[in-house]
Amino acid sequence: MSTVASASDPDPDYLRFFPYDQPYDHQTEAMGTIYDALDERRNVLFEGATGTGKTLSALAPALEYARETGKTVVITTNVHQQMRQFVREAAAITDQEPIRAVVFQGKASMCHIDVGYEECQALRDTTRELVDAEENRAELEDQQRALLEESQDGSAEAADARGAVMDELESVEAEIDQLREERNVCDHYYRNLTADTDAFYGWLYDDVRTPEDVYGYAEREGMCGYELLKEGMEGVDLVVCNYHHLLDSMIREQFFRWLGRDPEDVIAVFDEAHNVEDAARDHARRTLTETTLDQAVEELESAEDPRAEGALNVLDTFRRALVDAYDEAFGFGEREGVGEDWYDLSIDNEDARDELTLAFLQNYSGPGFHEELDRTLDLARELDQSYEEAYKNGETTTRQECQTLQAATFVEAWLDESAAEGQYPVVSVRRAEEGGPREAGEIYGRAELYTCIPSQVTADLFGDLHAGVLMSATLRPFDVTEDVLGLDDPETLAYGPQFPEERRRTYAVDGPALFASKRDDMQVQSTVAGALEDAARFTPGNTLAFFPSYAEAERYHQRVDTGGATYLDRPGTSAKELRERFTDDDDAVLFTSLWGTLAEGVSFDGDDARTVAVVGVPYPHLDDRMEAVQEAYDAEFGEDGDAGRGGSGSGGGRDDGEGAGWRYAVEIPTVRKTRQALGRVVRSPEDFGARILLDRRYTERSEVEMSDYSVRTTFPPEERREMVDVEPGKLKFALLNFYRDVDGYDGEPPRP
């Protein structure tokens, strides 16, 4: 039965994958549009506010199209809470229309014996050899028994043949003994290969099982759940996984092989897709520490191979160049301020190669570093293979990593690519901690190739897939997403809030514009603190307050006096525990950074929080990396010339020469984060709440009076229409009237 894919179709086939009574009108429209796009092999950009049902709107047509055409749907996110939501949705679907679904996580979270990837690979190979040998033994035993019967009946030929089989059997027995006694095997994987796994796969496909479920089942049966999942993924209808299974090119190749699908037979649904840009950069970055270079040098010094001398020459020269580069890059007093976190130093040059490359070229002497690197890589691959064989053969208890291979691979990439368009070379330093391979307190360095333009990672991915659906509450402006990710003529869909408008308010408070240069002004702080105190006092419940940084959150946590409990989020603290303590209260304020973990992917439903305030325009810290990204975007998408940037002194204000760099790299991501934060409250049709934007740059009059700095126009039109400009001193009256209108106060409201 074929599907007539149209939003107007009264009963399209993909509704069999919609597990609830009736989709909303906008869901019906979205499903039809997405199905048509998949049929045309077009990517889809799908923005939907909280409550629009994006997940099912994408999954239902994707699963239908995949079933009709023999494809697999992969839905992926980088937010753990969303993975749990996907599992619930997939379980609801399979209750109505059975599908084979697998929830996949990386090996590190599912390994029963806690070994690294290389060790695991070697263990699997050896274990497979053992099982093959045992199967060979069983076949030989069957042969010798049959030949024995024939020889007992008087067949001389059978007796001779049996003698040969017995000799071979003796050899196989010796091999098995050696594998068992002298070489490393994985008992869990051995059970996978020798036990009956039909019961596991019957259990796996009977429902939607979480990785924790699979781990528990495998632990009870003495099996490897990770390998069972890999073997069970081929030809499934739906896979739920993390971003790295698709964004990391090496993992992706293996992942598709486990699926038994070519890329063109995969439909990928990316949730929280506004995060794909940063995630793609993270997966593209390549690093090499001074410690790894030291270990590579030690490895080569002990290698008995004539190529080791040349390998030492090139890698030790790069190591010394790295030290020279960061020593020269330190400014006055910078070295003393280095802590245990990586600290970037500027080595880039506008009119020449970076300082690390220049130091390498200046110090290198030899027949040619390209030739020496080629020979180094050949030697490194042989060393790596010898380590694997030693581990398989039981000569070592752990699988040794080849540091020379890691170092040489990186150095080759650095010398070839550090000057390439869209690549930003970085040197960072940190201070060694206690218990590490270096002396505590010692400063050491790291070289990094940082990819500025995500499309260098994502364009090939989306070009290879059958199609992708990228969905988020904050994907607009679509043209920027299209450019940054390298999408070609995608279908676009946008649906605003579907909950009753009268149950929410968005206030743009015409207070001070919180430029960095104004944040220490006592009058500015007094105005902001007063507005926050009014917001907390007139909110019938908890208030969330987001700031440009943790430092600003702490500043106002100390200044704001609400009369109720206050909670301060700090870097490194457990967001889950903090959220639980905050939501257990009923008249509290939580102070946090917009760039922390609570601004997205975390719901504050109902009484958990009623009001959310974003204080200032929380531009990210504008460091050298961000400058490099802006310049790369300007070169790729803008006109010639500098993009206007606001440095830290202006708090992110723009010059008149605003360009694509600033817009793409700074302003739009900041407004997306702001919109994500505003979406933490009002999470259902019955819910109600207020959203506060506390900075003049959000107001309507800022578009005229301070157009160079106003960010209001970066919000989508329907969100701008809902913004109500209000003076700081009148915010309390606005909140009082709103919460009265929605019957938010349990008793008598507070008095202004």
Report the pLDDT averaged over residues 141-146.
Answer: 88
What confidence score (pLDDT) does residue 78 get?
86
What confidence score (pLDDT) does residue 150 get?
86
Taken in order 604, 609, 612, 615, the sign of the CA dihedral is negative
Is 354 found in the same domain as 444? Answer: yes
Looking at the domain assignment, is residue 421 inside a domain?
yes
With a cut of 60, say whether residue 652 has pLDDT above it: no
Report the pLDDT averaged over residues 219-225.
Answer: 94
Is 480 found in the same domain as 375? Answer: no
Is 552 found in the same domain as 482? Answer: no
With a cut of 90, say whether residue 649 has pLDDT above it: no
Token pair, residue 331, equals 């400014």
Q: How confident is the model at residue 653 (pLDDT cuts 50, 70, 90)?
A: very low
Taking the C-alpha atoms of residue 637 and residue 652, their distance in angstroms, rounded to an integer, is 21
Is 529 found in the same domain as 630? Answer: yes
Residue 711 · residue 697 · CB < 8 Å = yes
For 134, the domain range is 117-185
With a cut of 60, say whether residue 714 has pLDDT above it: yes
Is 696 found in the same domain as 625? Answer: yes
Last residue of some domain: 391, 418, 452?
Answer: 452
Strands 238-242 and 101-103, by their bridges, are: parallel
Range scoring the smallest mean pLDDT among 231-240, 523-532, 579-588, 643-652: 643-652
Q: Where are the alpha helices (DSSP H) in 260-354?
A: 276-284, 290-301, 308-329
What confidence score (pLDDT) does residue 644 get?
37
Looking at the domain assignment, is residue 642 inside a domain?
no
Report the pLDDT averaged over residues 265-285.
Answer: 95
Is 629 found in the same domain as 530? Answer: yes
- Write the pLDDT tens digit of every residue in 357-408: 999 999 999 999 999 999 999 999 999 999 988 888 888 877 889 999 999 9
- Can you state the percent helix, strand and coil of the chain, rounding each to 5? 55, 10, 35
Looking at the domain assignment, is residue 429 inside a domain?
yes
Helix, coil or strand: residue 715? coil
Is 289 found in the same domain as 253? Answer: no
Q: How confident is the model at residue 587 (pLDDT cuts 50, 70, 90)?
A: very high
Higher pLDDT: 390 or 426? It is 426
Q: How confident is the model at residue 552 (pLDDT cuts 50, 70, 90)?
A: very high
Domain count, the chain: 4
Taking the C-alpha atoms of residue 675 and residue 498, their distance in angstroms, rounded to an integer, is 16
Taking the C-alpha atoms of residue 223 and residue 228, their distance in angstroms, rounded to an integer, is 8
Within the chain, what is the greatest distance between any pair of CA atoms? 112
Looking at the domain assignment, is residue 212 inside a domain?
no
- Write the pLDDT tens digit of every residue in 522-542: 999 999 999 999 999 999 999
Q: Please, what is the average pLDDT of the chain?
A: 91
What confidence score (pLDDT) does residue 461 get?
96
What confidence score (pLDDT) does residue 437 get?
84
The CATH code of the domain that includes 318 is 1.10.275.40
Place of tokens 């500025």: 452
The CATH code of the domain that includes 737 is 3.40.50.300
With a cut of 90, say whether residue 692 has pLDDT above it: yes
Is 627 found in the same domain as 512? Answer: yes
Q: How confident is the model at residue 658 (pLDDT cuts 50, 70, 90)?
A: low
Report the pLDDT averaged over residues 8-29.
Answer: 86
- H/E stretch holding 460 reads helix 455-464
Looking at the domain assignment, is residue 242 inside a domain?
yes
What confidence score (pLDDT) does residue 646 get?
36
Looking at the domain assignment, is residue 407 inside a domain?
yes
Is 395 found in the same domain as 256? Answer: no
Is 152 found in the same domain as 259? Answer: no
Looking at the domain assignment, is residue 2 inside a domain?
no
Taking the C-alpha atoms of residue 424 and residue 55, their distance in angstroms, rounded to an integer, is 36
Looking at the domain assignment, is residue 175 inside a domain?
yes
Residue 46 · residue 493 · CB < 8 Å = yes
- Write the pLDDT tens digit of every residue in 25-63: 999 999 999 999 999 999 999 999 988 999 999 999 999
Is 164 found in the same domain as 248? Answer: no
What confidence score (pLDDT) does residue 574 get?
87
- Cα 578 off chain centre by: 23
Is 258 found in the same domain as 244? Answer: yes
Taken in order 53, 56, 59, 65, the sign of the CA dihedral is negative
What confidence score (pLDDT) does residue 10 get?
61
Token pair, residue 432, equals 């060694």
What confidence score (pLDDT) does residue 9 get?
52
